């Protein structure tokens, strides 16, 4: 291949020269390379295959059936505009730049990345035809295909299906954001039976259009687990589900100090959930049926109702709090139920509506409540077993009576054997 670079006096933004790349001997293979503060806009206008060997630096555009051989150093914005064909990018991209991909709308094709790419900028993916499915496939068989380190951000646009065909195709702390601007479309994160760890989830301005799922019609697919290191607070009102059709379940592990609020009838995945850190809020997640374990410093907060098959187990420092209904609540050794309010009558108590089991060593916390010397009802269920250890207050005892955990004052100021509230 012959590479000839020529200078032309045309100005770029009034202060940089343009250069021309001739690939081979055909004039129709002309590429333009803009030089200056931003170096290297490579634009293909041909409809046949070309090969560019070597290293690219700067802002580059690859169109149609262009093929690259060799690694890419990108310190600007690399634009891949593949509107009609499937494109497999085996080249390793490094540098500080970003990737902007416009992917061919196709139910089976799309953009496939297979190298251990380590560039530092944002990856934004959109469909070439808004409303038509475009696949962005990460398929590195030996490690992450995007952000092989830990940090980065990927933005899922209208009708884009981000698919992972290997475990942990994203670096362990990559933020996943949706940018679905057409309210008739959705953006999809499809795990395809592969376990993935990510950073923050950000559903964007139209949170109801974000979809996380194991499969989108595929069969014979294993179960998957998405580990989320959420350090920011976010409200997720979109879909978190096993599949639209197909096989395999989805589970969630919540790490990070942030609050992840799941709300609405589209939170329906059936795999297990584990909350290790921060807070996961279930707010009227009426289809939520996951078997949930909260532990370490994690918190599960219940607001409103969850699905009939849901259960929560608090253990080893995990906390459950709120006022919502839950079919099954189990507090194990060093697990904690935190009471937000207490009532002198059952109407104002936390009525879980389900079974509650307090194991030996479990705790109930009333820290912050304003209590006077009178009995209180803390929590009720359809069936309550065990008696927790009371913490957060003195001068009271806790008891289990008639499926109700009650708080009874013990203060006897005058020492006559009767508590103050009895006198």
Helix (H) or strand (E) holding 96: none
Q: Cα-atom radius of gyration of the chain, to the nearest Å?
A: 28
The DSSP string of 298-350 is: -EEEEES---TT-EEEE-TT-EEEES---SEEEE-TT-EEE-S--BSSGGGSE
Which residues, including other chains, have CB under 8 Å from residue 401's CB and lie 6 or more apart?
Answer: none
Closest listed residue to residue 3, CA positions, set 33, 37, 48, 45: 33
Measured CA to CA in angstroms, residue 274 lies from 118, 148, 164, 339 at distances of: 30, 25, 22, 21
Helix/strand/coil for 67:
strand
Q: Which two tokens stand for residue 130?
A: 């808004």
Which residues, including other chains, have CB under 8 Å from residue 160's CB and lie 6 or more apart?
Answer: 103, 125, 126, 127, 134, 135, 136, 187, 188
Closest listed residue to residue 221, CA positions, set 165, 259, 268: 165
Count how many residues are written for the chain.
423
10 Å CB burial of residue 41 (0-12, 13-18, 19+) is buried
Measured CA to CA in angstroms, residue 288 lies from 118, 199, 247 at distances of: 37, 23, 18
Measured CA to CA in angstroms, residue 152 lies from 32, 96, 419 at distances of: 30, 11, 62
Q: Which two tokens stand for residue 153?
A: 């951000």
CA distance 313 to 273: 10
Domain boundaries, given as residue ranges, for the chain: 1-73
CA distance 51 to 370: 74
Query: Would you write out the chain's pLDDT as a tens digit for each of its 423 residues?
Result: 222 222 232 322 322 222 222 222 233 333 333 322 223 333 333 333 333 334 444 445 555 555 566 788 888 888 888 777 788 888 899 888 899 999 988 888 889 999 999 999 999 999 988 788 999 999 999 989 998 766 899 999 999 999 999 999 998 889 999 999 877 899 999 999 999 999 999 999 899 999 999 999 888 899 999 999 999 999 999 999 999 888 899 999 999 999 999 999 999 999 999 999 999 999 999 999 999 999 999 999 999 999 999 999 999 999 999 989 999 999 999 999 999 888 887 777 899 999 999 999 999 999 988 888 899 999 999 999 999 999 999 999 999 999 999 999 998 777 887 777 777
Q: Are strands 77-82 and 98-103 parallel, antiparallel or unpaired?
A: parallel
Q: What pLDDT is stored for residue 68 in this prediction?
A: 61
CA distance 70 to 91: 6
Percent helix, strand and coil across the chain, each to the nearest 5: 5, 45, 50
Beta strands in 67-216 (DSSP E): 67-69, 72-73, 77-82, 87-89, 93-94, 98-103, 111-113, 123-127, 134-138, 151-157, 160-164, 173-179, 187-190, 196-198, 201-202, 210-215
Which residues, including other chains, have CB under 8 Å from residue 2's CB and lie 6 or more apart?
Answer: 22, 24, 25
Helix/strand/coil for 366:
coil
Beta strands in 76-115 (DSSP E): 77-82, 87-89, 93-94, 98-103, 111-113
Residue labelled with tokens 């996961």 = 280
């Amino acid at each position: 291949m012959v590479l000839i670079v020529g200078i032309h006096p045309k100005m770029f933004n009034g202060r940089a020269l343009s250069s021309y790349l001739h690939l081979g001997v055909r004039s129709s293979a002309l590429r333009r390379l803009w030089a200056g503060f931003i170096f290297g806009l490579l634009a293909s206008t041909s409809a046949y295959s070309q090969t560019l060997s070597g290293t690219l630096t700067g802002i580059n555009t690859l169109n149609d059936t262009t093929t690259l051989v060799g690694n890419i150093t990108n310190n600007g914005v690399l634009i891949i505009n593949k509107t009609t064909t499937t494109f497999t990018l085996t080249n390793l991209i490094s540098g500080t730049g970003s990737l902007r991909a416009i992917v061919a709308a196709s139910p089976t094709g799309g953009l496939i990345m297979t190298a251990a790419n380590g560039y530092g900028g944002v990856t934004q993916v959109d469909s070439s035809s808004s409303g038509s499915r475009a696949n962005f496939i990460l398929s590195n068989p030996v490690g992450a295909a995007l952000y092989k380190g830990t940090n980065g951000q990927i933005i899922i646009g209208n009708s884009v299906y981000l698919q992972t065909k290997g475990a942990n195709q994203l670096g362990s702390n990559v933020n996943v954001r949706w940018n679905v601007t057409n309210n008739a479309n959705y953006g999809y994160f499809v795990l395809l039976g592969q376990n993935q760890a990510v950073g923050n989830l950000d559903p964007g301005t139209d949170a109801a259009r974000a979809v996380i799922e194991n499969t989108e019609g595929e069969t014979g697919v294993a179960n998957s687990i998405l580990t989320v290191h959420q350090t920011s607070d976010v409200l997720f009102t979109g879909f978190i589900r096993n599949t639209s059709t197909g096989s395999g379940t989805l589970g969630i592990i919540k790490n990070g100090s942030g609050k992840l609020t799941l709300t609405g009838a589209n939170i329906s995945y059936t795999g297990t959930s584990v909350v290790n850190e921060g807070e996961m809020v279930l707010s009227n997640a009426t289809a939520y049926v996951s078997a949930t374990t909260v532990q370490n410093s994690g918190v599960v907060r219940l607001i409103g109702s969850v699905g009939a098959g849901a259960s929560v187990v608090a253990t080893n420092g995990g906390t459950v709090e709120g006022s919502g209904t839950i079919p099954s609540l189990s507090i194990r050794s060093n697990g904690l139920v935190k009471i937000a309010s207490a009532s002198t009558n059952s109407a104002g108590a936390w009525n879980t509506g389900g079974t509650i089991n307090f194991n030996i060593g479990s705790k109930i916390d009333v820290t912050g409540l304003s209590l006077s010397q009178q009995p209180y009802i803390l929590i009720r269920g359809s069936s309550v077993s065990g008696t927790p250890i009371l913490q957060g207050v003195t001068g009271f005892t806790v008891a289990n009576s008639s499926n109700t955990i009650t708080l009874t004052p013990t203060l006897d100021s005058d020492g006559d054997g009767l508590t103050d509230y009895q006198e």
